[in-house]
Amino acid sequence: MSVIVIEFITLDGIVSDPDGSSGTPGGGWAFRHGPGTVAGDKFRLGGTLDEGVLLLGRTTWELFSRLWPGRTDPFSARMNAVPKLVATRTLTDVSAWGNSRVLHGDLVDAVKRERRDVVVTGSPSVVHALMAEDLVDEYRLLTFPTVLGTGTRLFPAGGPPVHLECRSAEQAGAAVLASYGRA
């Protein structure tokens, strides 16, 4: 089992509001570069979605549950079919998006018990909780040529050092997809 974090991220490390749905002043930064940069399986999840589990925080799940169920292309079919765990203290009904269930109990303990690969997308609070316990094995980051100066950072100031190695990097439209794993 491995934990894979996938994020849209700016050059200055901001991961919040890439689509503008939160209404922040700089929101929508990822989609300013056209749909080709964000469409399809940019993060090379393919088989991982077929065999793994998607872990989402409430906000990301609510957004995705409005977007993905109506799509039918091959990648969307995988996103709709994958088992989804929702880390939430407030939601009780997650029937809006098939194969979703609320994660009960402690988030870290649940991830440690999971036997499948865990893919976390968006969901900065979930990612930060897993980072604090050194549970992230790989970061797949789609880095956009944007500097916001403010917002939620993937690696918060004052956090412990993280030593990674670059496993791959390639241009993806206006962005760069890079994979980083434990050094």
Answer for the pair 141, 177: CB distance below 8 angstroms, yes or no: yes
> Rounded to a whole number, what is the largest CA-CA distance in the chain?
43
pLDDT tens digit sequence for 111-163:
999 999 999 999 999 999 999 999 999 999 999 999 999 999 999 888 888 89
Q: Which of 14, 52, 48, 27 is nearest to 142 (CA)?
A: 14
Q: Which of 129, 151, 147, 181 is nearest to 15 (CA)?
A: 151
pTM for the predicted model, two decimal places: 0.94
pLDDT tens digit sequence for 98-109:
999 999 999 999
